[in-house]
A and B are shown apart, each in its own frame.
Chain A
Amino acid sequence: EPEVTQTPSHQVTQMGQEVILRCVPISNHLYFYWYRQILGQKVEFLVSFYNNEISEKSEIFDDQFSVERPDGSNFTLKIRSTKLEDSAMYFCASTGTVPYEQYFGPGTRLTVT
């Protein structure tokens, strides 16, 4: 069964460094999303992406964040200068033929030290 994959599963970085989180959505999906979950808190929407542009973003998604679909398969989230408060689990999701049902990847745990 097709699934969303994410790499790496765990990333440790120093404050101020740039990180890129990678996702491979399900191949025939058209909409892509990033969410994050700070430890002990709820899952929060960051951004949605369709037709090579951002369709919606939250207040969290400031200028430090960017998304890209560099080729036909990958979808990336870049954090330019990481802060301690960026430590969280980041989930990628994609939407397929059932409108609005989102399929989630296993997540990337980002630890900023």
Chain B
Amino acid sequence: KQEVTQIPAALSVPEGENLVLNCSFTDSAIYNLQWFRQDPGKGLTSLLLIQSSQREQTSGRLNASLDKSSGRSTLYIAASQPGDSATYLCADTTSGTYKYIFGTGTRLKVLA
């Protein structure tokens, strides 16, 4: 059964710190992996999409990497800000299916 796990479940850091969020997936036939941000009670904001042929994607202070052999993706946030406080979700989809499997998320709090 395809599963996605995110560690840690919660993280609290001081402003300005660089941080890494982890996402592990069980199915090696991954097609793509997408990172989302979710504010409390709100919808899903897409951050980065990595296709299986890519190793990383960057957008501003965010960098996401994908290692299919180890079943891991990381989201790196540089110079964190209080406005980055949110829950970060990763989701993958595998060849032959169109559905996303979501992780449980990492709840990030950046302290001013």
Contacts and interface: CB of A to CB of B under 8 A. Distances in A.
Q: Is the interface of B mostly helix, strand, loop or mixed?
A: strand
B99 A33 contact: yes
Given A33-B99, A48-B99, A101 B42 contact: no
Interface residues of A, number: 28
A98 B54 CA distance: 14
Contacts, number: 58
Interface stretch (B60-68, B73-81, B100-108): B100-108
A35 B104 CA distance: 14
A44 interface: yes
A101 B101 contact: no
A44 B49 CA distance: 19
A39 to B, nearest CB: 9
Interface string A74-113: 0000000000000001010101001111111111010000
Interface of A: 31, 33, 35, 41-45, 48, 50, 55-56, 58, 89, 91, 93, 95, 98-107, 109
Question: What are the 4 A-B residue pairs with the smallest beta carbon separation, nearest first?
Answer: A43-B102, A106-B43, A45-B99, A104-B44
